[in-house]
Chain A
Amino acid sequence: MAAHEILTATNAIVTLDVALPGTVWPWLVTVNMWAKSIGTGVIFMLFLLLKKYPDQAGKLRFPTTVVSIIFIHIFLLFTLADLHQPFRMWHIFFFPHVTSAITVGAWMATAFVGLLFLLAFLSFIKKDDAAFDKTLTWVVLLAIPVTLYTAGLMSQCTARELWQMPTESAQMILAALVAGSSFMILLSGSKLDYEAKKTLGVVLGLSAMMSFILYMSEYIFGPMKAEEVAAVLEYIKGDGPYTVMFWLGQWMTYLLPMLLIVLSRASKSENILKLAAVLALAGLWLVKHVWLMIPQLLPMS
């Protein structure tokens, strides 16, 4: 604890305090964030592909909508599972408190689900591509705040100094781009040619790079700004309890995919691109989990 060494002259030791409440937001919340990144990310990517490669991407309208519906429901299911009183979830709609990011997020996620089902209807039942594309624009616009609201929620956690708003919102959007591009690389199969997949690879690589830069900036410079941030980051430094998981996540989600994307472009290998996508998707869970857990280890009293 170099940054927080207690002065020898003081030598203050807590000899009696109550137990910490333990982990308040557990791995269920990690799954929540991870699944939501995929659910909104694939929508962003579908929009991009329809603009850039309309002929090929047309076949992805329905499969992408289904993937988004599945992962948004995983996100909602785990959100519900994390509540200690899940049967009171309806209170959010009947006793809403609009200063809470949870309330605003719940409303937006509900609207987002409704629009996703509309997309499914337009692509599968009505088979109206023009109406689908028009609706998709609105879905993409709504997907942005749906992605961001968790960053707002984390920033409302005054006790957790590590989670700052500008950084967290950037990380949430970048996570959606990483997850969305990775999932689309795997989902597209033979529907997209290598050029289109290369575009997805570029999105993955650049998002991974920007996200990695943000994490490293916080890792290096965060402790210079705030005492609590310094104390929290000790849990991922040295022999801290989350050091291994943190670096494993950074390598799997960002460093290795970046490297593999460069390799895949050099060798024109789709398989290497797919490997990058799988690593990024798995690693994103670790990265999110570490960042969720470490501020909860810090004693508040």
Chain B
Amino acid sequence: MQLGFLVDLHLCMGCKGCEVACKVENEVPLSTWRLRVKYVDVGTFPETKRTFTPLRCNHCENAPCQRICPVSALHYLENGIVNIDKERCIGCAGCVMACPYGAIYIDPLTHTADKCTYCAHRVASSMMPACVVACPVQANIFGDLDNPTSNISKYIQKNQGNVQVRKPEKGTNPHHFYVNGGNVTLNPLASHRGEGHNLFNNITTLPIGGHH
């Protein structure tokens, strides 16, 4: 079994229900996110549209974070999930530096690395990840990539030619896919980041977590 995630960006409406559900389920502290939804505005008024891209750990088959972790705090589960053992983590932040998706952060309360685990604790009890349950439009599809009859496998097959991963050139083989994604939504260098446009600008100076 190799668990994977797929987000249909055509369906996602940026409600951030997944973000909130993840925060609650995993008790993610203030100023940190295991899952977040990025908004990118495209075009020039009045011809504009807003895109929404949920971003989380990609649970790569060839995970740089797992490779660089000096104490195996980041490790693979048999179902393909890249899990984290916070009791073992020494907080070297090598994984934060290695992850090409910016999916790992230092938890300001435990001073250890943390990230999305595809809700491994829920999966172990045969429950879906919290973000999947919360999504009102079923844009998040989760399942076994090894099973051709699973929802995710069928979705990938149905959308052949329109399934993307983030930064495929890194060779990480993500187990996280997007349907109807594009350069603007998936490539961080394809859009401007203007000062003052970001709702969260003011919290960048919170004196917790990492080095300031």
A157 and B94 in contact (CB under 8 A), knowing A16-B198, A85-B111, A228-B189?
yes
In the assembled complex, how far is the CB of residue B61 from the closest CB belonging to chain A, in whole angstroms? 13
Q: A106 on the interface (CB 8 Å rule)?
A: yes
Q: How far is the CA of A157 from the CA of B100 in the complex (A)?
A: 8
Is the beta-carbon distance between A102 and B92 smaller than 8 angstroms?
yes
Q: Is the CB of B200 within 8 A of A100?
A: no
Closest Cβ–Cβ distance, residue B93 to chain A (whole Å): 5
The secondary structure that dominates the A interface is loop
Give the distance to chain A from B120, nearest Cβ to Cβ, in Å. 19
B191 contacts which of A6, A28, A97, A228 (Cβ < 8 Å)? A6
Convert B51-72 into 0s and 1s, putting 1 for each residue whose CB lies closer than 8 angstroms to a CB of A.
0000100000000100111111
Total contacting residues, chain B, CB less than 8 A: 59
CB of A246 to closest CB in B, whole Å: 20
Q: Is the CB of B203 within 8 A of A19?
A: yes
User: Interface centre among B71, B112, B210, by most A CB within 10 Å?
Assistant: B71
Determine which of A11, A17, A23, A160 lies in contact with B43 in the assembled complex, contact meaning CB atoms within 8 Å: A11
Known: A17-B198, A24-B106. 9 other contacts (CB 8 A): A13-B192, A14-B39, A17-B38, A21-B102, A24-B97, A85-B89, A88-B71, A88-B89, A103-B71
Q: Please list 28 pairs of residues, one from A and one from B, whose beta carbons are closer than 8 Å in the complex, sorted by A's number.
A: A6-B192, A12-B40, A12-B41, A13-B40, A13-B191, A14-B38, A14-B40, A16-B38, A17-B198, A21-B106, A22-B204, A24-B97, A84-B91, A85-B90, A85-B112, A86-B90, A92-B70, A95-B71, A95-B72, A97-B69, A97-B71, A99-B67, A100-B68, A102-B68, A106-B70, A157-B94, A158-B98, A299-B102
B interface residues (Cβ-Cβ under 8 A, vs A): 31, 33, 36-44, 50, 55, 64, 67-72, 88-94, 96-102, 105-106, 111-112, 170, 172, 184, 188-194, 197-201, 203-204, 209-212
